[in-house]
Amino acid sequence: MLGKLEPVKPLIGVVYNPRQQELFWASKGNGAFLNGRQIRVSDILDVSKALLVCVPPHRRHDLADEFFIISKRIFFATSDFRSLGSCALELSYIAAGRLDGYFERCLSYYDLAAGMLIVQEAGGKVDGADSMQPFTDERCDLVASNGLIQDWILHIVHT
């Protein structure tokens, strides 16, 4: 019997926002692009000026209390936070410098794979929110950012 397999690392990521007619894409080692123009993450270092995405664990209501404690800390320390409803699009917005960070628990790998590569190729960072639990097909706890505020988000999540 085969053991549990880790998800493969994406080599190409594509996210299309039909409402705005925006095509985000990246390929490993070649940068990230929006409608053909190269994009980069923001240079926000001061978390009080950062705009983050915080999404309740809609697949696991038993984790709601923990989420709201963490999101309250993020809310009071940052400029604001949002939830747009699409992990892939939110990660693409981080890559384009429109958002600065992201926190969500209990995603599926398909929710984040394309956006993860786009963020990384735009100069950002993507980590599991729980370093003891790597991304799996069943559960992905995600922290992503412009890279400059990544350690701060991880600290808030783990405090």
**Domain housing 94:** 12-158
Q: Is residue 111 part of a domain?
A: yes
Cα 16 from Cα 50, distance rounded (Å): 25
Q: How many domains does one find in the chain?
A: 1
Cα 86 from Cα 11, distance rounded (Å): 21
Any idea what the CATH number is for the domain that residue 138 is in? Answer: 3.40.190.80
Q: pLDDT for 128-146, tens place per residue? A: 876 555 566 666 889 999 9
Instruction: Please tell me the predicted confidence (pLDDT) of residue 58.
Output: 83
For the four alpha carbons of 77, 83, 84 and 90, in that order, the dihedral sign comes to positive
Burial code (b: 16+ CB inside 10 Å, e: under 16) for 86-111 equals ebbbbbbbbbbbebbbbbbbbbbbeb
Check: CB of residue 11 under 8 Å from CB of residue 121.
Answer: no
Q: pLDDT for 82-93, tens place per residue? A: 899 899 999 999
Q: Is residue 42 part of a domain?
A: yes
Beta bridge partner(s), residue 107: 140
**What are the distances in angstroms from CA 43 to CA 78, 99, 101, 148, 149?**
15, 11, 12, 7, 9
Q: pLDDT for 7-19, tens place per residue? A: 678 899 999 999 9
Q: pLDDT for 70-122, tens place per residue? A: 999 999 999 998 899 899 999 999 999 999 999 998 888 889 999 999 999 99
Instruction: Please tell me the predicted confidence (pLDDT) of residue 42.
Output: 98
Instruction: Please tell me the predicted confidence (pLDDT) of residue 109.
Output: 85
pLDDT(123) > 50? yes
Q: Is residue 40 part of a domain?
A: yes
60 confidence band (pLDDT: 50, 70, 90): confident
Q: Is residue 5 part of a domain?
A: no
Instruction: Please tell me the predicted confidence (pLDDT) of residue 93.
Output: 98
Q: Is residue 127 part of a domain?
A: yes
Q: Is residue 3 part of a domain?
A: no
Cα 25 from Cα 54, distance rounded (Å): 23
